[in-house]
Structure 1
């Protein structure tokens, strides 16, 4: 005999509801870790972010942003290709200093997606963005990750 509830509904009732995914458009997000040094390992940057304020929360979702400098004619193609991996074009009112300086004379493009961030996936995405930028005649300048500020417990 059926209770009228699907398996998903029963599991949510047993284990609780998952929180809503992080909204990349939230206005309270802060940069918790960044790296604009091509030689710096993601693990090193993330370790630095876990020990500084605002502190990176390795358990929480982040908005991972990659900053690219491209010829103007490559911007649409880069956005199209990155969209296949869940990236969107970030609308930013202020670029990081490293991006603004390096992108002079070229188009600055910031691609973002929400994900739980760890060193392995960060390194994979960093490499993917470097490859994408290079194929289109540009450069991957660096990345940063945003999260809501953590409340002091």
Structure 2
């Protein structure tokens, strides 16, 4: 389940980035692709942080639902800090950069916002659905 959740979040993250770029008619350039690659790395990092926290909670003997709740709570601050730091860096690059640097910064900024949403909201909704409606009692992370 955790692999599916992570893969789905990554795909949705990419879809959000491309949708925003398309909606505002931004051109995707090589620096923009670099921003997307960096965003994918940040998304993977966020998923790993969440899953490790959930795994730690499961090792203490908590139920799956409780482990997911506590895991997300413990990972939230770390993910927020990492994404906020990267977003501020993207904003600085945008305001002080030129041409290709601005393209990188825009794509990175959009990607970080999409990453935060998919990592914290979307994956949590999938896990909550699995626990509440599918009645998952065991989870492999």
Q: Same fold (TM over 0.5)?
A: no
Q: Which has the larger radius of gyration?
A: 1
TM normalised by structure 1 equals: 0.22
TM normalised by structure 2 equals: 0.24
Higher strand share: 1
